[in-house]
Amino acid sequence: MTRSNRTLAVVAAVPLLLLAACGDSDEDTATDTTSGGAEEEGAGEELGTIRIGSANFPENVLLAEIYGQALEAEGYTIELQPNIGSREVYFGEIESGNLDLLPEYTNSLLNFVTEGEFEATTTDEQVAELAEVLPEGLGVLEPSEAEDKDVLVCSAEAAEEHGLAALSDITPEIGAELVVGGPPEFAERTSFGVPAFRDELGVEFAEFVPLEIGPPIVDALSSGAIDCGNLFSTGSAIAANDFVALEDDVDLVSNENIIPLVRTEAVDEAASEVLNEISGLLTTENLTEMLVSVEIDAESETDVATAFLEEEGILGG
């Protein structure tokens, strides 16, 4: 891979783009020329620039790296903007033309774009409906079989005390005793958030604590500051901390397959073919394994992405 084709964009805090510093580097630099894997001999000619963003959690940063390194190996120049924030922040960036590619999730994206007014339940239906409702100039490519759903996770102590194994176990009486943590938008999201628990299950939690998804929620669960929290189903911290992921036996969360969201004028047919190939290589199992490397073994998303692409024969070792 030609590492000179990689630019790590450092953007000042401005409305709609709050770019957190990438946790993998201690240096304050505007150009990342060392963050990826081995140089690919015979990489194709430069084909243009694709600006890739990510949400502010490790899995999405990892996916941005995987897609970006694969495109870079084909000769595209990549500008990577990791850890932008929540969907409520980063969607405006691709819609306004400041980004060209984002790793997304079928149900969550559809729920956001339609403000919860949609009929699709299967992945194919979600993709078809997205093609109809996305703003002009945006599109989605082929979905991956890899899936990562929102999940409500409780500490072992809270699960045992209240007899929690599934979402249906949270009765209104039990919910009134639970302190729940989640990203700030969890308080407003209708698909999987406080309103959904209230409207679908009749549950009002004792307290909602806004916390960044990932280590802050894990730490709060471990310390007992919260009883349950919103994590992702592929998260390595669940098994590592003996947390109890509550089964979604009430179908509160639909399919959440990984899918590239693109600006169609910036991502050409050749780039789309590369992205579709990568999506086809991703599975829930290998994504979960990669997240163990990132979240438990403290490897960088960049290095883990490189290792995956080398193993799959996309990059030369």
Q: Does 42 share its domain with 134? A: yes
Per the DSSP assignment, residues forming a β-bridge with 207 are 179
Question: Taken in order 187, 191, 195, 198, is the CA torsion positive or negative?
Answer: negative
Backbone angles phi, psi at 182, to 5 degrees: -175, 170
298, 279, 110: which is closest to 189 by C-alpha? 110
Count: domains in the chain = 2
Query: Do residue 154 and residue 142 come from a single domain?
Result: no
Tens-digit pLDDT profile for residues 189-210: 877 899 999 999 999 999 999 9
Q: Which of 10-19, 41-50, 286-295, 304-313 has the lowest mean pLDDT?
A: 10-19
| 250 falls within a domain | no
- Residue 295 and residue 192 in one domain: no
- The range of the structural domain enclosing residue 164 comes to 150-245
Do 37 and 14 lie in a common domain? Answer: yes
Residue 156's CB: how many other CB atoms inside 10 A?
A: 12
Residue 89 sits in the same domain as residue 219 = no
Strand boundaries in the chain, DSSP class E: 6-8, 48-55, 76-85, 101-105, 138-140, 150-154, 179-182, 207-210, 228-232, 244-245, 258-263
In which residue are the tokens 């150009």 written? 31
Find where tokens 């883990």 sit.
304
Q: What CATH number is associated with residue 211? A: 3.40.190.120
Distance in angstroms (rounded) separating the CA atoms of residues 13 and 299: 27
If asked whether residues 113 and 232 sit together in one domain, one would say no
Q: List residues bridging with 139 in a β-sheet.
A: 262
Q: Is 171 part of any domain? A: yes
In this structure, are 18 and 125 located in the same domain? yes
Task: Show the tokens assigned to 317.
Answer: 């070792």
| Cβ atoms of 187 and 208 closer than 8 Å | yes
pLDDT tens sequence across 271-312:
999 999 999 999 988 999 999 999 889 999 999 999 999 999
How crowded is the C-beta side of 308, counted as CA atoms within 13 Å? 29
Give the residue from 152, 147, 150 showing the smallest Cα distance to 256: 147
Produce one character per residue of 72-111: b if its CB has 16 or more CB atoms within 10 Å, e if not: bbbbbbbbbbbbbbbbebbbebbbeebbbbbbbbbbbbbb
Contacts of 93 (CB under 8 A, 6+ apart): 16, 17, 53, 84, 99
115 and 72 in a single domain? The answer is yes
Q: Using 50, 70 and 90 to split pLDDT, how confident is the model at 4? A: very low
Q: Output the pTM of the full model.
A: 0.72
- Domain CATH for 61: 3.40.190.10
Number of Cβ within 10 Å of residue 11's Cβ equals 13
Asked whether residue 94 falls in the same domain as residue 156, the answer is no
Q: What is the pLDDT of residue 121?
A: 84
- Please determine, for residue 128, whether its predicted confidence score (pLDDT) is greater than 50: yes
pLDDT, tens only, 133-151: 999 999 999 999 999 999 9
